[in-house]
Structure 1
Amino acid sequence: MFTEERLNEILNILNIQGKIKVKDLSQKFKVTEDCIRKDLKQLEHAGKLKRTYGGAIQIRQSSQLHDISEREKVDISTKTEIAKKALDLIEDRETIFLDISTINILIAKAIVNTAKRVTVVTNMLEIANILSASNNNITVVLAAGVLNKSLNGFIGSATNDFIKKYKFDKSFIGSCGIDAFDRSITTFEIEDGITKATIIQSSKKTFLVMENKKFFADGNYKFAMIDDINSIITDEKPNEQIIDILENNEIELI
């Protein structure tokens, strides 16, 4: 096997497993451990991975902070698939929370096209507007407070105080990223993170709604740990190592 072929195969293994060990790669490719270390060093210099003691891990990306209006235009088909999965989990006469999230906008649009009789509490203006124009089966409650214009929603102490008065059957929470290895779930805005944490605390069951790529990305503020949630609704499953971590923490993948 040529060096270039081995490097590509190493990256394929890393994408599947989440991390790799020098010893295992040495045995697999029947080359010395020093040879594998040189391979990993070359891949690290190319920005493909991060070396660790005895192996390497995937490089986590820093999510970029954009206004909601910009984020609505990205990954529409993937987010629509996630929204459909979420809709199937919403039962008649439930009280649910849809927080500030472009996927939750699509969930709201999906609810409107059903006969589900639900109460939807939200802190996002666009979601409230979508649902308010719907049939009489849907009761809309706006958790108001201080408007964050870039998020098009309400966050902060007044919003949090309102949310604390509820006990939601289910909440659907957006995120900038989840790091299964340090068990953290992140966003950008501190106040947004505190509001998300308040929603989780007021929910009987919490679903994180996010694209698969966010298993490998991070925001700046940790608003929850993975054992604070019940399930993750995503478009496709992550690598085996992340799946194992989630299963060990009794997190359902949908």
Structure 2
Amino acid sequence: MFAGQRQNEIYRDLQEQGAVSVTALAERFAVTDETIRRDLAKLARSGRVKRTHGGAVLAASDPSEPPFAVRQTANTAAKRAIALVAVGVVQPGDVIAIDASSTGLELAKLLPEVPTELPITVVSNGLDVVRWLADRADVNVISTGGEFDAAGQCFVGPIAETALRQFAFRRAFVSCRALDATRGAGESCPSHAAVKRAMLAAAEESYLLADSSKSAERAMCYYAEPSEFNRIYSDGEMALDTQKDLTEAGANLVCVAL
């Protein structure tokens, strides 16, 4: 089993049990205690896991944060509808950033269908985005690289952030864990928020892809106010009060009919 696969399994155990021990994990995976400690250290650096003496527990902010595979199957109709509208702003020859979100993946799936005489270049920290676009001849794809977050299936950390600062994006497309009219777009851990901030800082235009469920969630840290995005795409299920609050906060909000 590869390290990334093992770390995924460890994270699932943490979500189910709340805590794990180095000794038990070493026995389960037939590896040394030191190997498990390295796995836990890597998960801890993502902000999702907290090390303890002899093991680890879920970070306080993370009990409700599902892994990418679960998020990918949630609210799929809304995510696809949002992506279908958002892809309309992409132009021939654009260099764009797409984050590791499940809605970002839906957007990536539509890019090969965009009529273009010049190839689009996509830079992403999302493993699934890179994989999906890898064999598309009319889309150039670049991975940020960085520290791999097994639960989020994405690259984070200083290497990913530094890579993003080298680009001049025409547009950046990001999502969020939570959307609040007062605090803006939020994430479940600092490492994810930092990557999204780096994408926005390097882009001429920025777009938030956030289905209506995000307005009912809470986040650990917030990375951009509603008015910082050129447009926020959501769906028509968003509560009217929330729509009003976001608009009054300066958001250019577009709610897509389902």
The whole-number CA distance in structure 2 between the counterparts of 1:193 and 1:151 is 13
Please, what is the CA RMSD of the aligned residues? 1.8
Paired residue type of 1:123: N
Structure 1 residues 217-232: aligned runs within 5 Å: 217-232=217-232
Once the two structures are superposed, residues 174-193 of structure 1 have per-residue CA deviations (whole angstroms, 9 ceiling, x without a partner) of 1011111x233211121111
Once the two structures are superposed, residues 31-50 of structure 1 have per-residue CA deviations (whole angstroms, 9 ceiling, x without a partner) of xxxxxxxxxxxxxxxxxxxx
The whole-number CA distance in structure 2 between the counterparts of 1:250 and 1:89 is 20
The whole-number CA distance in structure 2 between the counterparts of 1:142 and 1:111 is 16
Partner residue in 2 for 1:120: 122
The whole-number CA distance in structure 2 between the counterparts of 1:82 and 1:63 is 27
The whole-number CA distance in structure 1 between the counterparts of 2:71 and 2:243 is 27
- Structure 1 vs Structure 2: percent identity of aligned residues? 18
The whole-number CA distance in structure 2 between the counterparts of 1:105 and 1:240 is 27
Partner residue in 2 for 1:76: 76
Once the two structures are superposed, residues 194-220 of structure 1 have per-residue CA deviations (whole angstroms, 9 ceiling, x without a partner) of 111111111111111011121222121
Structure 1 residues 3-22: aligned runs within 5 Å: none
The whole-number CA distance in structure 1 between the counterparts of 2:63 and 2:167 is 31
Structure 1 residues 1-254: aligned runs within 5 Å: 64-116=64-116, 117-134=119-136, 136-180=137-181, 182-236=182-236, 238-254=238-254
Partner residue in 1 for 2:54: none
The CA deviation at 1:93 is 1.0
| Structure 2 length-normalised TM | 0.69
Q: Which runs of 5+ in 2 are unaligned?
A: 1-61
CA distance change for structure 1 residues 249 and 71 in 2, over 3 Å: closer, same or farther? Answer: same
Q: How many residues end up aligned between the 2 structures?
A: 191
Say if 1:63 and 1:218, in contact at 8 Å, map to a contact too: no
The whole-number CA distance in structure 2 between the counterparts of 1:172 and 1:147 is 20
CA distance change for structure 1 residues 169 and 85 in 2, over 3 Å: closer, same or farther? Answer: same
The CA deviation at 1:77 is 1.3
1:207 partner SS: strand
Say if 2:183 and 2:222, in contact at 8 Å, map to a contact too: no
Say if 2:100 and 2:128, in contact at 8 Å, map to a contact too: no
Structure 1 stretches (4+) deviating beyond 6 angstroms?
none
CA distance change for structure 1 residues 218 and 172 in 2, over 3 Å: closer, same or farther? Answer: same
Once the two structures are superposed, residues 133-178 of structure 1 have per-residue CA deviations (whole angstroms, 9 ceiling, x without a partner) of 21x2211111111111111110111110110111211111110111
The CA deviation at 1:234 is 1.0
The whole-number CA distance in structure 2 between the counterparts of 1:63 and 1:224 is 23
The whole-number CA distance in structure 2 between the counterparts of 1:188 and 1:155 is 13
1:78 partner SS: helix
Paired residue type of 2:75: D
| Structure 1 length-normalised TM | 0.70
The CA deviation at 1:247 is 3.2
The whole-number CA distance in structure 2 between the counterparts of 1:119 and 1:249 is 32
The CA deviation at 1:248 is 3.8
2:100 partner SS: coil
